[in-house]
Amino acid sequence: MLRWFGVLIGAFCLLTGQPTQAQERFITVASTTSTQDSGLFDHLLPLFTQKTGIQVRVVAQGTGQALDTARRGDADVVFVHAKAQEQKFVEDGFGLKRFAVMYNDFVLIGPASDPAKINGVKDIATALQTIAEKGAPFVSRGDRSGTHAAELALWKAVGIDPAKSQGNTQNWYREIGQGMGAALNTAMAMEAYVLSDRATWLSFKNKGTLQISVEGDARLFNQYGVMLVNPAKHPHVKAKDGQAFVDWLVSAEGQAAIGQYKIDGKQLFFANADQQGA
Amino acid sequence: MIDDASPLIAALALIVRLDPAFLGIVGLSLRVTLTAVCLAALIGLPLGALLAVSRFRGRLAMIVAINALMGLPPVVVGLVFFLLLSRSGPLGGFGLLFTPSAMIIAQASLVLPIVIALTRQTIEDLWAGYREYLQSIGMGPKEAIGTLLWDARFSLATALLAGFGRATAEVGAVLIVGGNIAGVTRMMTTAIALETSKGDLALALGLGIILVGITLLVNALAFGMSRIGVRHAG
């Protein structure tokens, strides 16, 4: 009886342990939450896979973490949005050539009650200064993502160190250390302001009373870049298939596919691989 | 915001439509957690029994340590296996990071202490009662392990269910070592975390309702089987 029991457990283990899919041809792409949460990858990847037979496995992280993942050799391609960090990644020899792919923009999101009274302000610097002066709640990603980097750069540009608000009685600046969606959920619940990329904002489903407070400032520009992880650093990198994905993204076909992606009739990303210096 | 009925509707819609992506997520969840529990059982049951019947120096300290490991934080386990399995880590050559195998390994490590600790307790109690009889028919502690495990099988099923519960409920470890890749390493819990972050709270809660339902089903099945078993054994 005991033996049968053992055989049963063994058979069951073999059964559940079987891989459900045969080994496929695939690459791993470390990318950002915005490209995944906005649904862009659900639109792009089937097109690429259909054309090349290469499956794309996306690990969606903040830009800083995605670059770390690639630095460790756990991804074949990185597709992120923080140009300075990307250039450093390439300079340090972890990535081959960086290609500009597309852009969208950041928007400052705030509650309809608008506690800092900044709705309609066109200048992002003025808006942030007002938020800090009035001590209106502001949610920061705090996760070294591309959006977090952009937010910190904006604060620096207006000469405010928001981290100093932490711990004092006002405590209006709240770092949550999570992704874009989580930051929007938190801002919704706290009636706080938050900087978001437009794509995640448009596809976000729990907007509640949140709305766009400030948009259209040139400083809110958000560029995405893509690069192959350097096979010289990590020999197991699937250089041929990875480069095929990079090349497809910046090809006429890939660029057109990016432009075609829309939510509620609104275009989310604007292809600009041909733009010099992007 | 979500109204009261929308999560239920979302859950029902998922079940009724039998969406292949959704079925894949449920299938992967079951495959990963059940395999992890299996692995933990194969290692943990004999080890727990051995720990119950043997006497050696440091045994008590070991028991305390294993009991404490039942509270191992999943996120720490995830991080440790992430570092081990990463291409830059000592086991990187196997290329296991971001695969279901990595998730199975991480979950098995979380379940193992529970199986060992609960088995040890169950078998020790049983051993106290059986010891004289088994020794009188010439069975030493090591030979008695098989008999003890078999006699305690219904109590041990509960230990395995506790492990299964730990594995299905867990998100921290599988998210780190699996990467939540659509169609490859996306499980019920990681899908719920993702839908929450996309603000689709109704769908997230709907998935949660289904996950609880599946857990209930597995437990009911196990309970039913042990009832039948008890009747036949009695």
Least confident of A3-12, A28-37, B149-158: A3-12
Å between A15 CA and nearest CA of chain B: 9
3-state secondary structure of A180: helix
A35: nearest CA in chain B?
A: B198
Is A20's pLDDT higher than 70? no
A29: nearest CA in chain B?
A: B181
Per-residue pLDDT band at B123 (split at 50, 70, 90): very high
Residue in A20, A178, A205 nearest the CB of B27: A20
Per-residue pLDDT band at A171 (split at 50, 70, 90): confident
The confidence score (pLDDT) of residue A24 equals: 78
The confidence score (pLDDT) of residue B6 equals: 79
Per-residue pLDDT band at B15 (split at 50, 70, 90): confident
Which chain B residues touch A33 with a CB distance below 8 Å? 197
Q: What does R_g of chain B's alpha carbons equal in angstroms?
A: 21
Å between B180 CA and nearest CA of chain A: 7
CA–CA separation, B46 and B149 (whole Å): 8
Class of domain A26-103+223-271: alpha beta
pLDDT tens, residue by residue, A210-262: 999 999 999 999 999 999 999 999 999 999 999 999 999 999 999 999 999 99
Q: Which residue has the tokens 């959704």?
A: B22
Q: CB B179 to CB A59 under 8 A?
A: yes
Residue in B27, B88, B196 nearest the CB of A72: B88
Determine phi and psi for A58, rounding to 5 degrees: -100, 125
Residue B172 included in any domain: yes
CATH number assigned to the domain comprising residue B226: 1.10.3720.10
Distance from first CA to last CA of chain A, Å, rounded?
Answer: 71
Å between A225 CA and nearest CA of chain B: 21
pLDDT tens, residue by residue, B171-184: 999 999 999 999 89
Q: CB A204 to CB B198 under 8 A?
A: yes
The confidence score (pLDDT) of residue A201 equals: 93
**Where in chain A is CATH 3.40.190.10?**
26-103+223-271, 105-220
Which chain B residues touch A73 with a CB distance below 8 Å? 86-88, 92
Q: CB B181 to CB A59 under 8 A?
A: yes
Average pLDDT, chain A: 90
3-state secondary structure of A223: strand
Mutation to test the A interface, candidates B83, B197, B221, B225, most A Cβ within 10 Å: B197
Average pLDDT, chain B: 91
Q: Residues near A177 by Cβ (< 8 Å), separated by ≥ 6? A: A141, A142, A143
Å between A210 CA and nearest CA of chain B: 11
The confidence score (pLDDT) of residue A166 equals: 62
Is A129's pLDDT higher than 70? yes
Amino acid code (one letter) for A49: T
Is A167's pLDDT higher than 80? no
Print the SS3 string covering chain B: CCCCCHHHHHHHHHHHHCCHHHHHHHHHHHHHHHHHHHHHHHHHHHHHHHHHHCCCCCHHHHHHHHHHHCCCCHHHHHHHHHHHHCCCCCCHHHCCCCCHHHHHHHHHHHHHHHHHHHHHHHHHHHHHHHHHHHHHCCCCHHHHHHHHHHHCHHHHHHHHHHHHHHHHHCCHHHHHHHCCCCCCCCCHHHHHHHHHHCCCHHHHHHHHHHHHHHHHHHHHHHHHHHHHHHHHHC
Residue B135 included in any domain: yes
Share of chain A above pLDDT 70, in %: 90
Per-residue pLDDT band at A10 (split at 50, 70, 90): low
CB atoms within 10 A of CB A130: 14
Residue in A5, A20, A184 nearest the CB of B199: A184
Per-residue pLDDT band at A7 (split at 50, 70, 90): low
CA angle B124, B127, B130 (to 5 degrees): 160
Which chain B residues touch A20 with a CB distance below 8 Å? 24, 27-28, 31
Alpha carbon B34 to chain centroid distance? 7
Q: CB B87 to CB A180 under 8 A?
A: no
Which chain B residues touch A12 with a CB distance below 8 Å? 34, 38
Residue B11 included in any domain: no
CA–CA separation, A29 and A32 (whole Å): 10
Parent domain of B85: 27-233
What architecture (CATH level 2) is domain A105-220?
A: 3-Layer(aba) Sandwich (3.40)
Is A1's pLDDT higher than 80? no
In 3D, which of A47, A7, A19, A30 has the Cα closest to residue A256?
A: A47
Judge whether A32 and A62 are in contact, CB under 8 Å. yes
A16 or B83, which is more confident? B83
Residue B54 included in any domain: yes
Per-residue pLDDT band at A16 (split at 50, 70, 90): low
Q: CB A16 to CB B196 under 8 A?
A: no
Interface of B with A (CB under 8 A): 1, 24, 27-28, 30-31, 34-35, 38-39, 41-42, 86-89, 92, 95, 97-98, 100, 104, 146, 149-150, 153, 179-182, 184, 194, 196-201
Number of domains observed in the structure of chain B: 1
Per-residue pLDDT band at A26 (split at 50, 70, 90): very high
Is A187's pLDDT higher than 70? yes
Mutation to test the A interface, candidates B29, B190, B198, most A Cβ within 10 Å: B198
Residue in A9, A41, A179 nearest the CB of B197: A179
The confidence score (pLDDT) of residue A169 equals: 53
The confidence score (pLDDT) of residue A9 equals: 61
> How many contacts, defined by CB atoms under 8 Å, are there between A and B?
90
Residue in A58, A181, A236 nearest the CB of B197: A181
The confidence score (pLDDT) of residue A33 equals: 87
Per-residue pLDDT band at B9 (split at 50, 70, 90): confident
pLDDT tens, residue by residue, A41-99: 999 999 999 999 999 999 999 999 999 999 999 999 999 999 999 999 999 999 999 99
In 3D, which of A34, A101, A106, A82 has the Cα closest to residue A271?
A: A101
pLDDT tens, residue by residue, B53-87: 999 999 999 999 999 999 999 999 999 999 999 99
Per-residue pLDDT band at A15 (split at 50, 70, 90): low
Residue B22 included in any domain: no
Residue B131 included in any domain: yes
Is B185's pLDDT higher than 90? yes
pLDDT tens, residue by residue, A118-127: 998 999 999 9
Least confident of B35-44, B100-109, B204-213: B204-213
A87 or A23, which is more confident? A87
Q: CB B38 to CB A16 under 8 A?
A: yes
Is A182's pLDDT higher than 60? yes
